Each structure stands twice: as structure tokens, then as C-alpha cells.
Amino acid sequence: MLKKIGRLFVIKTRFEACLIIYALGVGAMARGTAYLHEYPGVGGKLLLVACSGSVFLAGAKIFDSLRHERAAQSDKASRSAT
């Protein structure tokens, strides 16, 4: 039962990854605009850029991990076939 629930929290496809990255981006931009209101001027703008930059880094890491997992699965399948 716990395995079935645990599978819900695993990113399996690029589409799921894009949905998660989109949600991260929306949240980061909401937080960034809050920073602009809290810290007017250059400080708020720098925090906004940091929020958006973190989404780019997280998205790249998610896509890289999907590619790595897929390569590991195909390598494992090719080794078991021989």
C-alpha cells in the first residue's frame, strides 16, 4: 500500500516534470513580487532574479535526473537481455 502511495510522488515523464517546473515558477514569481513590495529598489529586484534563477536551476536538475534514470533503465535492460 505504501509503495502505491509512494509512486504518486515520483516524476516519471517529461510532461510531469514540466508541470512541476511550471508550479515552481508560479510560486517563485509570486514570492518574487512579494519581495519587490517588501524591499523596494535594487534589493527587491535582486531577490526577484534569485527566485527566477532558482527555478531554472531546479528545472535543469529535474530534466537531467529524468534523462539519467532513463539511461540507467535502458542500460539495465540491455545488460539483462544479453
Which pLDDT score is estimated for 60?
A: 95
In order along its 82 residues, the chain shows pLDDT tens digits of: 888 888 888 888 899 999 999 999 999 999 999 999 999 999 999 999 999 999 999 999 999 999 998 888 888 888 877 6
**By 3-state DSSP, what share of the chain in percent is helix, strand and coil, each rounded to 5?**
85, 0, 15
The rounded distance, in Å, linking the Cα atoms of 55 and 31 is: 12
Instruction: Tell me, yes or no, if the pTM score tops 0.85.
Output: no
